[in-house]
């Protein structure tokens, strides 16, 4: 089409030339600056889509010092919890006009989280969300680049950073009280891995309710969140079926493992043993029996954390650090019933 064989994508100057204005006027049109004559504006617009011009946000970021990109550091986004949290974060960020750059760690440790934060900082993100469910990872937040707005999600931390999380202790209390309220003498607990903050919180809530009610606190069983580990715990519990009448399991996947083990061993749920899970994954409602569980609102967690982060970014002074807690919700289904 004529002599225009330039393969280089058009830049602002090209648009300016075609529209017969200066590049700065083009910039003003693009940024909705008020002082542009309507006629000029349309002329520029026409030139823009005639050339198929797209502005270069990299150049813009260089001068404004704002990339409108947020960094997210997470761990194994294959799991329902992290995946949902990250999804919530991404949605909230985009609604606010921000991009999201994700680093999903394979193994989670302080060095890994630190590296990830470093990469993101170099890349020029305006702020960072760290989904730091493990104690060791949460500690990496101590050495954030100075002045980098950040927020921790599901991380326990008393340091220099705001935290948004679901109230794990309360969730565990809900689960345990429910079981006690049904008349069970005590409640067993299959917890998550020791280093996880969520596992810790759930364990704490469970223990607290039992202690307050003056009940015996049974030995703790520990899994790794996987259905398989729940299955193993289930085999163990089935062997002492007489003693056990109620189990609070730290997540729904492990609860499924328990269910499977109990089925194999001929232990009836809920007739012989009642089970409460945690998370309310989409599958739980269709387990056999449907699982009584504690729902976490991951979407809310994502939105709240972006709120906090953007407030930090958009204010110039450092803001006081907040601790936001999202309440969990009890969901009664078929896996729990009164003691014999």
* Chain residues that interact with DNA, rule: CB under 7 A: 8-9, 11-13, 20-25, 27-28, 30-31, 34-37, 39-40, 55-56, 59-60, 62-64
Q: What is the DSSP letter of 292?
A: B
CA distance 319 to 324: 14
Stretch that binds its own copies, among 31-39, 213-221, 286-294, 313-321 (CB under 8 A): 286-294
Q: Does 315 bind its own copies (CB under 8 A)?
A: no
Q: Does 306 bind its own copies (CB under 8 A)?
A: no
Question: Cβ neighbours of residue 185 under 8 Å, at least 6 residues apart?
Answer: 215, 216, 245, 339
Looking at the Cβ atoms of 36 and 61, the one nearer to its own copies is 61
Q: Would residue 49 be called left, alpha or beta, if left means φ above 0 and alpha means ψ between -120 and 50 degrees? A: alpha
Closest CA to 112 of 100, 103, 101: 103
Q: Does 193 bind its own copies (CB under 8 A)?
A: no
Looking at the Cβ atoms of 218 and 290, the one nearer to its own copies is 290
21: number of Cβ within 10 Å = 19
Q: Does 330 bind its own copies (CB under 8 A)?
A: no
Site string for its own copies, 252-271 (x = CB under 8 A): -x--xx-xx--x--------
Tokens encoding 141 = 């937040």
Cβ(153)–Cβ(132) under 8 Å? Answer: yes
Q: What is the largest CA-CA distance in the chain?
A: 89
Looking at the Cβ atoms of 15 and 105, the one nearer to DNA is 15
Looking at the Cβ atoms of 22 and 288, the one nearer to its own copies is 288
Supply the minimum distance, in Å, between the C-beta of residue 69 and DNA.
15
Cβ(106)–Cβ(135) under 8 Å? Answer: no
Site string for its own copies, 92-131 (x = CB under 8 A): --x----xxxxxx-x-----------xx-xxxx-------
Stretch that binds its own copies, among 20-28, 213-221, 280-288, 321-329 (CB under 8 A): 280-288
Q: Does 54 bind its own copies (CB under 8 A)?
A: yes
Residues 215-244 within binding reach of its own copies (CB under 8 A) = 226-228, 230-231
Can you list the pairs that 95-101 forms with residues at least 24 positions away whose Cβ atoms lie under 8 Å? 96/306, 96/310, 97/68, 98/68, 98/69, 98/70, 98/126, 98/306, 98/310, 99/67, 99/68, 99/69, 99/70, 100/69, 100/70, 100/71, 100/72, 101/69, 101/70, 101/71, 101/72, 101/125
Q: Does 34 bind its own copies (CB under 8 A)?
A: no
Residue 30: name its binding partner from its own copies, DNA, none (Cβ under 5 to 8 Å by kind). DNA
CA distance 323 to 156: 10
Q: Does 318 bind its own copies (CB under 8 A)?
A: no
With tokens 């607290």, the residue in question is 208
Supply the minimum distance, in Å, between the C-beta of residue 122 and its own copies.
5
CA distance 278 to 198: 11
Residue 211: name its binding partner from its own copies, DNA, none (Cβ under 5 to 8 Å by kind). none
Supply the minimum distance, in Å, between the C-beta of residue 74 and DNA.
27
CA distance 156 to 197: 6
Interface with its own copies (CB under 8 A): 7, 9, 52, 54-59, 61-62, 67, 69, 76-78, 80, 83-84, 86-87, 90-91, 94, 99-104, 106, 118-119, 121-124, 145-147, 226-228, 230-231, 253, 256-257, 259-260, 263, 282-283, 285-288, 290
């Amino acid at each position: 089409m004529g002599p225009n064989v330039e393969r280089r994508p058009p830049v602002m100057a090209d648009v300016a030339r075609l529209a017969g204005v200066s590049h700065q006027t083009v910039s003003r049109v693009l940024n909705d600056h008020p002082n542009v004559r309507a006629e000029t504006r349309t002329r520029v617009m026409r030139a823009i889509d005639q050339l198929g011009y797209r502005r270069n946000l990299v150049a813009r970021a260089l001068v404004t010092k704002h990339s409108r990109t947020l960094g997210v550091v997470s761990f194994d986004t294959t799991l329902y919890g992290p995946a949902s949290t990250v999804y919530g974060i991404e949605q909230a960020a985009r609604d606010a006009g921000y991009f999201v750059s994700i680093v999903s760690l394979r193994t989670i440790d302080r060095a890994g989280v630190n590296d990830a934060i470093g990469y993101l900082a170099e890349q020029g993100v305006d702020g960072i969300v760290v989904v730091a469910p493990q104690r060791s990872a949460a500690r990496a937040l101590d050495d954030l680049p100075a002045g980098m707005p950040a927020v921790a999600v599901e991380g326990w931390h008393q340091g220099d950073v705001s935290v948004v999380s679901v109230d794990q202790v309360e969730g565990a209390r809900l689960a345990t009280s429910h079981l006690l309220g049904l008349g069970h003498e005590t409640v067993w607990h299959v917890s998550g891995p020791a280093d996880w903050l969520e596992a810790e919180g759930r364990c704490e809530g469970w223990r607290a309710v039992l202690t307050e009610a003056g009940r015996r606190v049974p030995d703790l069983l520990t899994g790794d969140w996987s259905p398989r580990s729940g299955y193993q715990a289930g085999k163990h519990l089935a062997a002492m079926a007489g003693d056990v009448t109620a189990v609070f399991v730290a997540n729904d996947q492990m609860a499924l493992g328990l269910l499977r083990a109990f089925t194999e061993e001929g232990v009836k749920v809920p007739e012989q043993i009642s089970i409460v899970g945690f998370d309310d994954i989409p599958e739980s409602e269709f387990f056999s029996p449907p699982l009584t569980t504690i729902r976490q609102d991951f979407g809310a967690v994502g939105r709240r954390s972006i709120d906090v982060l953007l407030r930090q970014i958009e204010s110039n002074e450092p803001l006081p650090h907040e601790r936001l807690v999202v309440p969990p919700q009890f969901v009664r289904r078929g896996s729990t019933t009164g003691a014999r």
